[in-house]
Amino acid sequence: MIPVARPSIGQEELTEVGKVFETGWLGMGALTKQFEDEIKKYIGVKNVIAVNTGTSALHIALDALALRNRDEVIVPSLTFVASVQAIVACGAIPVFCDVYSDTLNMDIEDVKRKITKKTKAIMPVHYSGLPCKMDELIEIAKNNKIRLVEDAAHAFGSLYKGKKIGSFGDITCFSFDPIKIVTCGEGGAVVTSDDTLAQMITKKRILGIDKDTWSRYKHERSWFYGVDTLGFRYHLSNINAAIGLVQLKKINEFIRRKKGIVRKYDEGLKEIPNVELIYHDYENTAPFNYIVKVKKKREELMEYLKKNGIDSGIHYIPNHLQPFFQKYTVKLPVTEELFEQILTLPLYYDLSDSEVDKIINCIKSFYK
């Protein structure tokens, strides 16, 4: 079976994990700091706080903004449930917005319509690695005195007008889970230019422990620490950082190959009846997954692919249709139509050209 996604890991990552085992220091340590420093250099930003998952990154970033009960955060419904769970976990209200049919990114005009006096943040989701219209969102946030918390789980390495995602925004959250552009096994990071916010998030990721207090007393009372805020056990371990450090060295090659696969898909699928391509920016996007819109017989196509050894998926079930979020539900016509059409095809670094050809030919055969 050709899977929808798969990490590209091997002996090099295993060797570095083995070195961590040899030191006996498995938790957060020097490699965590090194991983943060490498991300700083790659993106070109001064504050990076590595955490254990992308979901943790979103939650801790929102929590550090001190959202209160009934505060609102605008978020597209067409995103992984983690985006919305992070909002609800802070006691805030997710306000669902619609998306553009051609990019699956948040609809700016709908965002404007959804802003109220209770709106404290907007959460753009860079779907499949394609950046949202950040200039417009930054202007909206500035004019309304609200924060931008980018869900860039799909977009590590993507560019917007020549600048890396995370290098110019307010707060950006990345994911390094097993199927992202680069993986730590599990991991994430919060990137921000706000020094005060970065200090707060740094404390919150390890149970609110005041690192300055800890350092101040380390020579006289090594056991001493201070806690002055709510915190979580969200820090990234040396084990995960070791994997991430190896993966970061490969990111340019990962992106190059995945761009090539996207181009090959687009060329092979563009003339197939009932299959519609979404917009791809080949130059600036670090592709996360590959989505098409299937106008007829999507479920039958999925079954046909499966019988021919090809997995497929749907990313995602709109959150406003989920039982847990029913009290926040609204009508989102574009999102609801897309949910009936979108199909995710395999995309990962080790996917071969012959496998891509097989997938394309299988879809052609189905519609013949």
Neighbouring CB atoms inside 10 A of 138's CB total: 16
Chunked in runs of 10, what are the mean pLDDT values of the chain (368 residues)?
A: 98 98 95 98 97 98 94 98 98 98 98 98 98 98 98 98 96 98 98 96 94 58 84 97 98 98 98 96 97 98 98 98 97 98 98 98 96
Listing DSSP states for 288-321 in one string gives: --EEEEE-S-HHHHHHHHHHTTB--B-S---GGG
Specify the domain boundaries for CATH 3.90.1150.10 within the chain.
Answer: 252-367
Query: DSSP strand E in the chain: where?
Result: 48-51, 72-76, 93-97, 119-122, 147-151, 159-160, 163-164, 171-175, 188-192, 209-210, 226-227, 275-277, 290-294, 342-345
Residue 296 burial (C-beta neighbours within 10 Å; 0-12, 13-18, 19+): exposed
Neighbouring CB atoms inside 10 A of 348's CB total: 19
Residue with tokens 């806690």: 227
pLDDT of residue 141: 98
Listing DSSP states for 196-242 in one string gives: HHHHHHHHHTBTTEEHHHHHHTTTT-TT--EE-S---B-BPPHHHHH
Query: What's the N-to-C CA distance of the chain in angstroms?
Result: 23
Rounded distance between C-alpha atoms, residue 98 and residue 107, angstroms: 6
pLDDT of residue 291: 98
Residue with tokens 């020097």: 30
Position 84, amino acid: V
Question: Which tokens belong to 35?
Answer: 């991983």
Specify the domain boundaries for CATH 3.40.640.10 within the chain.
Answer: 11-96+105-249
In this structure, whether the domain defined by 252-367 belongs to CATH 3.90.1150.10 is answered with: yes
Q: What is the CATH number of domain 11-96+105-249?
A: 3.40.640.10
Catalytic residues: 180
Whether the upstream peptide bond of residue 316 has omega within 30° of 0, thus cis, is yes
Closest-CA residue to 31 (of 335, 204, 243, 346) = 243
3-state secondary structure of 83: helix
